[in-house]
Structure 1
Amino acid sequence: MLSTASAIDAAIRDATADPYTGLPRVTMVAATRDGEVYRGFGGWAQLPNDPAKLEAEGVPLTGDSIHGLYSSTKLVGTIAALQLVEQGRLSLDDDASQYVPELKTVKLFKGFDDKDEVVLEDNTTPITVKMLATHTAGFAYWLFHPHAGKVAEKLGIPTTPYDRGGKRSDLARMPLFAKPGERFSYGTCIDWLTLVVEAVSGLSLEEYFQQNIFRPLGITDISFKPNPTQICMAYEGDGGKYQFGPSPLMNLEANFGGSGLKGSAPSYMRILRALLRGGELDGARILEEETVELMFEDHLDGEQQHTSFGAFGAPVVESFSRKAGKPLPDMTYGLGGSLGGEGVASGRGAKTLTWSGLANTFWWIDRSRGVCAVFWSNILPFGSQRVYDLWETCEVELYKGLS
């Protein structure tokens, strides 16, 4: 096991000692190609809002507690699409509308007219599978585009399809906010990508994930289906104090690859370990080695895509490990997540593949140092400095223990 495990345990224990003013919870799991080297957790799975009732009503976190994955779902969706590419049933260069016809009808947002109404025009640029896989098709989440929320309100549709009642037709009515291929724009691209997966495979997304990724890896507790044991959501409020409530109900009628899975950190670690090992774990292969290599390559095209991605990632870089806030020299986007690591204070290796979910569910795969890890909290808002600070402390100790 990791020589610095006790230091990580102590950091998590101290950070979660008071779940109302510190961190409510943290789970960290790390593994090498040969197996798990660290599993630690602290805090509570369920908490009352009254601190005086914590001991009577609180439920402590366990190593197998069920978290909401949020955008950590996107890695699984990308793996699914790449499996179909391997089988020759799909190409990254394909026009995705041949599989999902609604992509032909998606409009391009141009602004607002003098009556403050949405101005749309036809999109004439084909959206490829690769654009969907790299978030360069032009779709945008409301959190990351100044007009996306207002546009959704004007059009009378949800900002994302993940909430209960969200429909595929709503996804199709949300316009592009950039010309396809023009820039990196974080949004619903992986939702569209997994519609392609459903169309090509003939399976629902839940069925596809279970049959082709989870069951082969021996995973039994990751699913889109509701799980009554899922941990609560923690919301950081005024003065830094946390409030607690049920995790938001996700879409029960349709599943989308951008968000919605729930499961345990050790199970998700099996996916990361398979990728760390070139696509295979315990005799089960989910991707060929050549395909895994492809995931760790730069897939952004041209200066504008790279510049726009650098601007998108700068807040995380500024908050974690590089206080100057400058993009990492090797920072770009691969397939399934961002790439970067050169110069990170912990000693993380170059071209580490990493991403997160909205509720601070971070993961990374560092092939040069031979380690992968998750650091999950299920607290909002995203980008909590307290989470970043503990994450950095734990990662530094992790890499120290690997030396």
Structure 2
Amino acid sequence: MLALSVTSADPSVSAASPALRAVNPQAQGFSAERLQRLQDYLGGLVDSGQVPGYSALLARKGQVVWAAHYGMADDVQRVPLSEDSIFRVYSQTKVVTGVALMMLFEQGKWHFDDPITKYIPEFEHLRVFKQQNPDGSLELEDLQRPPTMRELVTHAAGFGYGLGKDTPVEAAYWNDHYIHSASTDAAIAKLAELPMASQPGLHWHYSAAVDVQGYIIERISGQRLDEFMQNHVFGPLGMTDTAFHVPADKWSRLVRLRAYDSTTRTLVDANDPVLVLDYSKPPAVASGGAGLVSTVQDFARFAQMLVNDGELDGVRILSPAAVKLLCSNQLSEQIRSTPGEGFNHDSGWGFGVDVAVITDQAKAGTLRPAGSYEWGGAAGTWFWVDPVNDLIFIGMIQVMNRWGHPQLVNIDKDSAALVYGALVEPEAARH
């Protein structure tokens, strides 16, 4: 028997924190009847066996209008999900790293057009993939110029990543496992020897760029990335369950990691050699691109800080101007005007500091307004921030390869459509 935990609609009942209290949906312009469609949709994915369980939260103007935790945290041991279940957020870590980097930006520690070699001189002699020779070796060419920080924060620097082996460059990164290095300097040394996927500034290419940002944060601040985030983000925001590892006293709350097997069309235990990380102890090198665990409640505090223009509960993390810069398109006109490129003009999307940004609602084909921004993680977590409607949404599952799962591939888009289908008093209608 599956249990459904839904946040109380009584405004006297505290939700995740004093800043995120629960209210009746109607009080914030939502139809309770239409929100039921969202709950039915996500619950249906659990009931039909597509996903073991989910946690999700929707808030507007700092108040929770809907939250639910349904299904199993461990479908093998039959452990139910709860509101404090801990999820691997993988690439949602990137947005946190972007915030940390912007904290240093507003202190004048770096500039968007700085070459990254100003902070990592080991990258002075990076080489770029040209072609693969008949014997399997790679022909490389010299870097024409160092990537800039702006290119680094928009995945336009030219790095590879190694999440798969579909190209010679990605295979080289896959085989290298730089993310598992013994130290930051060792990770940098590995990346310095790997081929770039392209010359800087030519393409949007999902990459190791945010791990590199983490290394730069360490060098500028003089602190380990995990220490910097704890001291300047998690601690101040009260994100008590967000970290790069799970302590022994919290281990039972970590959700089992599953993966979709497209051959058998079943869920199996994940065994990805790159992304199945050991969370039982602090990592030798904290991955700014994929290393965090968190809860729905914690990540709601982070997202609420962003929609509040950088402040939560009287604690300011970023200035309003820095938040605006983070969620503004930073991707070059050259890339955005090229047909077929990721985040080109026709897509209706741009790219800010480690976040995807809606630039044209109609072209993006979404009910979310222009100015909304988002990102997600490899195990199926997703979130977005909507500054226009003062709205945040966080969704969490733990299924790798959800993009290969026909029922989960659009869980983020479908949940967004259902949320905005229930928002009967959007901000534009209130003026």
TM-score range, shorter chain: 0.7 to 0.9
Q: Residues 3-402 of structure 1: matches in 2 within 5 Å? A: 3=32, 4-19=34-49, 22-48=50-76, 57-143=77-163, 146-152=167-173, 157-158=176-177, 160-161=178-179, 167-168=186-187, 169-227=189-247, 228=251, 229-237=253-261, 238-244=263-269, 248-250=276-278, 252-307=283-338, 311-312=341-342, 327-328=346-347, 330-340=348-358, 342-343=361-362, 347-383=367-403, 384-402=405-423
Q: RMSD in angstroms over aligned alpha carbons?
A: 2.5
SS of corresponding position for 2:176: coil
The whole-number CA distance in structure 2 between the counterparts of 1:80 and 1:165 is 20
The letter for the 2-side match of 1:157 is D
5+ unaligned residues in a row in structure 1: which ranges?
Answer: 49-56, 315-325
Contact 1:184-1:305 within 8 A present in 2 as well? no
Percent identity reads: 24
The whole-number CA distance in structure 1 between the counterparts of 2:163 and 2:284 is 24
- What is the TM-score of this pair, normalised by structure 2? 0.80
Q: Deviations over 1:299-341 (max 9, x none)?
A: 1112335537x64469xxxxxxxxxxx954x311112211126
- What is the TM-score of this pair, normalised by structure 1? 0.86
1:273 to partner: Cα distance: 0.9
Task: Give the number of equivalent residue pairs.
Answer: 377
Contact 1:136-1:305 within 8 A present in 2 as well? no
When residues 162 and 377 of structure 1 are mapped into structure 2, their CA distance, relative to the original with a 3 A threshold, is farther
1:100 to partner: Cα distance: 1.4
The letter for the 1-side match of 2:39 is D
The whole-number CA distance in structure 2 between the counterparts of 1:16 and 1:306 is 41
The whole-number CA distance in structure 1 between the counterparts of 2:183 and 2:219 is 21
SS of corresponding position for 1:363: strand
SS of corresponding position for 2:236: coil
SS of corresponding position for 1:175: coil
The letter for the 2-side match of 1:93 is D
1:26 to partner: Cα distance: 1.9
